[in-house]
Structure 1
Amino acid sequence: MQKLTVNLWMQGTAEEAGEFYARALPEAKTEVESRYPTEGLLEFQEPFAGKALTVSLWVRGTKITLINAGQEFMPNPAISIIVVFNAGQRESLDATWAALLEGGTALMPLDTYPFSARYGWVNDKYGVSWQLMESDEPVEPRASVFPALMFGGAAQNRAVEAIEYYSQVLGAKLDSAFPYGEPTEAATAEALMYAQFTLGEDCVAAMDSAVPQDFTFNPGVSLEWPCDGQAEIDRVWEALSAVPEAEACGWLTDKFGVSWQIVPSNMGELMERPGAFEHMLKMKKLVINDF
């Protein structure tokens, strides 16, 4: 069962983007999950009154959330989404690549690489990064869509440290790790060329950038993690939050710069309470009894 959810910050384009991704991505569908209330909004949110707040996108059964918001943030390649295709799905891979490339930019051209017979990395027209990859080994749909964290800029060469930390705080389990083995431009010999770990049943990839980057993690792509009860919210929040000024409405930034949304498992139910949205705006860490 999916627990970790990737959230994408859309600059007022969440519904449009949801429809775009539903057409572009394999076995995808979308729907508006929640809307902004018509009152009780902060001044900068007033243009969104009654409009979509969150749009759900399912790709092969994996949920991704599009957040309808302002111009404050934009996704970047520090967190991308990997979509794995089995060997007999090359036509689907190529069609997905063509759709995502429309209005976007190829970061690594669709081609043959030592690690995959068919691979490409694209930044789409909304700024979201996708890595499309053909696998020789069969991959189940549930395990074929997952986020990849690239540690560059201020977080360069901290992938090993991050995985160990997420193991302590969130129970992450390392599945595989491939160090560079020798210094490679920005990467040290011990830095990770690629690694995979799991959070619950959810796969996450991590890597240290091989080349210097002028960007790093930001709230344009955040990771949503649900907690059962206030005590678990308190524990995770205390362990992860490293930038007090970034705390708002359940959002925090950890010591690597990764943005997280730490929410109650019954968040949907809580948001149905009268005045819940207005109450949430007043919180930093979410307090269940204050909804």
Structure 2
Amino acid sequence: MMEQKNNLSTFLTFKGNAEEAMNFYVSLFPNEAKIHSLVKFEEGQNGPLGKVLNGTFEIKGHSLMVMDMDPQYPPDFSWAMSLLILCNDEAQFDSLFSSLSNKGSVMMGPEAVPPMRKVAWITDQFGLTWQLVWS
């Protein structure tokens, strides 16, 4: 389990691709993200063997936990909840936009929404929605 910096964390439930998603998300933020732990379901545990029981990581200091749900209860993410990323600069915005929209779908942007220089709303390949902002 990761050391909590605070008592609030985002918990994401996946359809069997939690490890792939966690690795992808961490790869998007060089020097600003890291994986803390990864525990997989073992024989006899109530979950899909070899899939993620829990994985913890952080992005820009924000803690997230992932797990894979039993295939009989597949969850869906909704754009009603999204991860908001305040980008360090335009290069980071453009890189994140390119990576997250690849195999995903763009809901809005990129465009200027004063006073912000660029904003975008994207649902990635795993179904998770992100809001990118460069001020």
State the TM-score, normalized to the length of structure 1. 0.38
Bigger radius of gyration among the two: 1
Cα contact 1:195–1:206 (8 A) shared by 2? yes
Q: Distance in 1 between matches of 2:56 and 2:7?
A: 13
Gaps of 5+ in 2: 110-119
Gaps of 5+ in 1: 1-138, 267-291
Structure with bigger RCO (C-alpha 8 Å, 6+ apart):
2
Partner residue of 2:104? 243
Residues 86-125 of structure 1: per-residue CA shift (max 9 Å, x gap): xxxxxxxxxxxxxxxxxxxxxxxxxxxxxxxxxxxxxxxx
- 1:177 and 2:38 are equivalent in the alignment: yes
Q: CA deviation at 1:194?
A: 1.0
Distance 1:192 1:236, change over 3 A: same
SS at match of 1:237: helix
Q: CA deviation at 1:182?
A: 3.0
Q: Distance in 2 between matches of 1:148 and 1:253?
A: 17
Partner residue of 2:16? 157
Q: CA deviation at 1:190?
A: 1.7
SS at match of 2:108: coil
Q: Distance in 2 between matches of 1:214 and 1:188?
A: 12
Residues 46-69 of structure 1: per-residue CA shift (max 9 Å, x gap): xxxxxxxxxxxxxxxxxxxxxxxx
Partner residue of 2:112? none
Q: CA deviation at 1:214?
A: 4.7
Higher helix fraction (1 or 2) = 1
- Letter of the 2:16 counterpart: N
SS at match of 2:27: helix
Two-structure CA RMSD over aligned residues (Å): 2.1
Higher strand fraction (1 or 2) = 2
SS at match of 1:190: coil
Give the alignment of 1:3-22 within 5 angstroms: none
- Superposed structure 1 runs of 4+ greater than 6 Å apart: none
Give the alignment of 1:41-56 within 5 angstroms: none
Q: Percent identity?
A: 24
Cα contact 1:193–1:210 (8 A) shared by 2? no
Cα contact 2:83–2:130 (8 A) shared by 1? yes
Give the alignment of 1:1-291 within 5 angstroms: 142-151=5-14, 156-171=15-30, 172-182=33-43, 187-210=47-70, 212-241=72-101, 242-244=103-105, 246-249=106-109, 250-264=120-134, 266=135
State the TM-score, normalized to the length of structure 2. 0.78
SS at match of 1:247: strand
Q: May I ask how many residue pairs the two structures share in their alignment?
A: 120
Q: CA deviation at 1:211?
A: 5.0
Q: Distance in 1 between matches of 2:75 and 2:54?
A: 19
SS at match of 1:170: coil
- Letter of the 1:219 counterpart: W
Distance 1:214 1:203, change over 3 A: closer
Q: CA deviation at 1:259?
A: 0.3
